Chain A
């Protein structure tokens, strides 16, 4: 090592540690709020009762993990609901992509921007507001029933919010309403990435708009669609909480209770802290495993990892 390099390192060293010092508060923050709660996983292995120190409680090993699966009626029902919501979400997941293609065909820039602003808006309101709106439109006294009464004055009110048979599809459609505009943004971004010269070449060859859309735009968006779908697999047990929490009522409770809601009910309402934590751990481990497996498969197929 020559003198110059030594000198350079000498200047470099304090700078480097100053940087680490700047990063330190953030690292401590992340440990405090993201990693310390992980130690709470230990609760799943004890007969924990709030108020009693952990050292005075009984170590029970995997009792609560076994219990989670032996209460099969509940867990099967809850997993069924969660899977149903995930599958419906998957079924509707091409909507934002299709919508982006249609929006892209609009010629007026101003109208395009206005439309995008309008349809993105519902993404920015809370599920409580959605529930309030839904109550204005779909409750027995709501707008929809009012309109139905105009056409058929004898018809009894339709109770959409309390109907067990349609709760899955209704919630899925609410989800689409709230987020399709927002989810379309990423496809709009991908659309700008498609090379304009491909379109020009196709047009010279006599391709119309339909052919351009089918054979250039759709294949151009497919990688984005596939990546998003693959990434969603690892989250298939986390279909959301707020939505089902605010739309929950005793008429639909059996069908709307997804895994996160069930964990909440066990932990907060029934005080089964250990059982709730055990199910939470199971969920985290499953989603991490899926994430890494999907990532590995993608890496093999595409040669480039997702994360």
Chain B
């Protein structure tokens, strides 16, 4: 120990200790809020007023079983899940294929098409015109409004394009000599080599889909198409309504755990957060790599 300190210098060791404490505090700052909500959602609502800090009070899963029985919640889970799956597939396939096409120098009007795509990052029609246009396409009150208009974003296309451009061209050339067309080459050569960028796009798209609620708020008024985030927003803003709904449903369930608007809100928040917690750490490694390549090259 002594030898270590004298080798590193006392200042350097003190810095390491300080840095370690700093990092631990930041980890707590970023994770404790979620942990707090988790233990809250696992506590008996009648006991939470005594304070919850590290462990749930009166451990129960009743919050979750009752919340899932609330009208609309289970269906919202289904809608959110399906839009996430469908939307992610659309985004990944669309962005990768489009980016691949754009990397081909022989594409006629390539420059114009590429510029036209880039400009969309900076200019948009705005709220009202977009609403009117989507309405004229028949997208209002339709599931497709969740997954189609946002599927291809210029930013993701640029990210994929930069990645595909740095792949060795030789591989594709040899396949070309074997007579493979663009589509085959895209599927058999480019896609397998671009797993980390595809994972990055998939994560971006999946998170954006899962978190999205404003499209629901603006364009979809059918309650059977409501997403989980939208329902959480409703619980967040209309506590009174939620309470009424709750009393009705808890009367019906005759459970000895009585939910409060607080506990419903927290439990729905956890329902929305848990899937991200489960998926995110596994993709994190990929997207850091994907972003780094995109950032260094771009």
- Chain A 109-146, CB within 8 Å of chain B: the 1/0 string? 00101111111111011101101110111000101001
Complex partner residue of A267 from B31, B109, B127, B149, CB under 8 angstroms: B127
- Across the interface, name the chain A residue whose C-beta is closest to B100: A22
Chain B at the A interface: SS class: helix
Complex partner residue of A40 from B12, B20, B129, B233, CB under 8 angstroms: B129
Looking at A105, A107, A121, which has the most chain B CB atoms within 10 Å of its CB?
Answer: A121
Known contacts A132-B265, A135-B265, A242-B214; is A118 also within 8 Å of B129 by CB? Answer: no
- Number of interface residues, chain B, beta carbon within 8 A: 81
Q: Is there contact, CB below 8 Å, between A16 and B106? A: yes
Known contacts A20-B109, A128-B233, A281-B126; is A26 also within 8 Å of B37 by CB? Answer: no
- Across the interface, name the chain A residue whose C-beta is closest to B98: A26
Cα–Cα distance between A57 and B133 once the two chains are bound (Å): 18
Tell me, yes or no, whether A226 is within 8 Å of chain B by CB: no
Among A27-35, A76-84, A85-93, A195-203, which stretch is in contact with chain B?
A: A27-35
Cα–Cα distance between A141 and B120 once the two chains are bound (Å): 45
Q: Is there contact, CB below 8 Å, between A20 and B107? A: yes
Tell me, yes or no, whether B72 is within 8 Å of chain A by CB: no
Residues of the B chain whose Cβ atoms lie less than 8 Å from the Cβ of A241: 214
Complex partner residue of B291 from A29, A125, A186, A208, CB under 8 angstroms: A186
Cα–Cα distance between A132 and B269 once the two chains are bound (Å): 7
- Across the interface, name the chain A residue whose C-beta is closest to B269: A132
Q: Is there contact, CB below 8 Å, between B123 and A38? A: yes
Q: Is there contact, CB below 8 Å, between B182 and A18? A: yes
Q: Is there contact, CB below 8 Å, between B133 and A103? A: no
Residues of the A chain whose Cβ atoms lie less than 8 Å from the Cβ of B207: 124
Q: Is there contact, CB below 8 Å, between A26 and B128? A: no
Chain A residues within 8 Å of B, Cβ to Cβ: 12, 15-20, 22-23, 26-27, 29-30, 32-41, 43, 99, 102-103, 105-107, 111, 113-122, 124-126, 128-129, 131-133, 135-137, 141, 143, 146, 150, 177, 181, 185-186, 188-190, 192-193, 208-210, 234, 241-242, 245-246, 263-264, 267-268, 273, 276-277, 280-281, 284, 287-288, 291, 307
Chain A at the B interface: SS class: helix
Among B241-249, B250-258, B276-284, which stretch is in contact with chain A?
A: B276-284
Cα–Cα distance between A29 and B97 once the two chains are bound (Å): 14
Tell me, yes or no, whether B192 is within 8 Å of chain A by CB: no
Known contacts A34-B120, A128-B229, A242-B214; is A264 also within 8 Å of B133 by CB? Answer: no
Q: Is there contact, CB below 8 Å, between A37 and B9? A: no
Among B22-30, B54-62, B164-172, which stretch is in contact with chain A?
A: B22-30
Residues of the A chain whose Cβ atoms lie less than 8 Å from the Cβ of B266: 132, 136
Complex partner residue of B182 from A19, A118, A120, A208, CB under 8 angstroms: A19
Residues of the B chain whose Cβ atoms lie less than 8 Å from the Cβ of A141: 262
Q: Is there contact, CB below 8 Å, between A124 and B232? A: no
Q: Is there contact, CB below 8 Å, between B182 and A34? A: no
Residues of the B chain whose Cβ atoms lie less than 8 Å from the Cβ of A35: 120
Looking at B11, B262, B295, which has the most chain A CB atoms within 10 Å of its CB?
Answer: B295
Q: Is there contact, CB below 8 Å, between B152 and A26? A: yes
Residues of the A chain whose Cβ atoms lie less than 8 Å from the Cβ of B123: 34, 38, 284, 288
Tell me, yes or no, whether B238 is within 8 Å of chain A by CB: no
Tell me, yes or no, whether B117 is within 8 Å of chain A by CB: yes
Q: Is there contact, CB below 8 Å, between A41 and B292? A: no
Cα–Cα distance between A280 and B128 once the two chains are bound (Å): 9
Q: Is there contact, CB below 8 Å, between B133 and A136? A: no
- Chain B 50-83, CB within 8 Å of chain A: the 1/0 string? 0100000000000000000000000000000000
Complex partner residue of B127 from A41, A99, A143, A263, CB under 8 angstroms: A263
Q: Is there contact, CB below 8 Å, between B236 and A135? A: yes
Cα–Cα distance between A101 and B88 once the two chains are bound (Å): 34
Q: Is there contact, CB below 8 Å, between B26 and A119? A: yes
- Since A18-B182, A22-B101, A120-B284 are in contact, a sample of 10 more A-B pairs with Cβ atoms closer than 8 Å, ordered by chain A residue number, is A26-B98, A26-B152, A37-B129, A102-B23, A135-B236, A135-B265, A186-B291, A210-B11, A268-B218, A288-B122
Cα–Cα distance between A303 and B26 once the two chains are bound (Å): 39
Residues of the B chain whose Cβ atoms lie less than 8 Å from the Cβ of A276: 126-128
Q: Is there contact, CB below 8 Å, between A36 and B133? A: yes
Residues of the A chain whose Cβ atoms lie less than 8 Å from the Cβ of B122: 234, 284, 287-288, 291
Residues of the B chain whose Cβ atoms lie less than 8 Å from the Cβ of A36: 125, 133
Residues of the A chain whose Cβ atoms lie less than 8 Å from the Cβ of B97: 22, 26
Cα–Cα distance between A43 and B127 once the two chains are bound (Å): 12
Residues of the B chain whose Cβ atoms lie less than 8 Å from the Cβ of A210: 11, 15
Q: Is there contact, CB below 8 Å, between B118 and A37? A: no
